[in-house]
């Protein structure tokens, strides 16, 4: 009759809703695992977080995502 749920599904990543939130989100990723080259920006991701790299690419409207050979990682770069 009164059955309590053991757990509820919660999303692993909450995507930023506004441009300001996205800016903060992107700044955090760059600070955490990003790199500015001479004419590039690269952000590394664990392979299971590749969807976030594609989300950033779609939100910005440009950039590339590629896998890192022999590692469980990917890179988003502009």
Give the residue extent of every domain in the chain. Answer: 33-77
Q: Where are the beta strands (DSSP E) in 1-78?
A: 34-36, 41-46, 64-67, 73-77
Can you give the pLDDT at residue 13?
63
| CB-based burial label for 77 (10 Å; 0-12, 13-18, 19+) | middle
The pTM of the full predicted model, rounded to 2 decimals, is 0.75
CA angle at 46 for the pair 42 and 51, rounded to the nearest 5°: 80
Which pLDDT belongs to residue 15? 80
What CA–CA distance (Å, rounded) separates 68 from 36? Answer: 18
Tell me the pLDDT of the chain (78 aa) as tens digits.
Answer: 676 666 666 666 678 889 999 999 999 999 999 999 889 999 999 988 888 899 999 999 999 999 999 999 999 999
């Amino acid at each position: 009759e009164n059955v309590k749920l053991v757990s509820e599904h919660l999303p692993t990543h909450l995507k930023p809703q506004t441009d300001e939130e996205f800016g903060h989100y992107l700044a955090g990723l760059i600070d955490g695992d990003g790199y500015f080259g001479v004419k590039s920006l690269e952000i590394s991701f664990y392979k299971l977080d590749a969807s976030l790299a594609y989300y950033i690419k779609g939100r910005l409207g440009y950039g590339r995502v590629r896998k890192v050979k022999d590692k469980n990682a990917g890179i988003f770069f502009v």
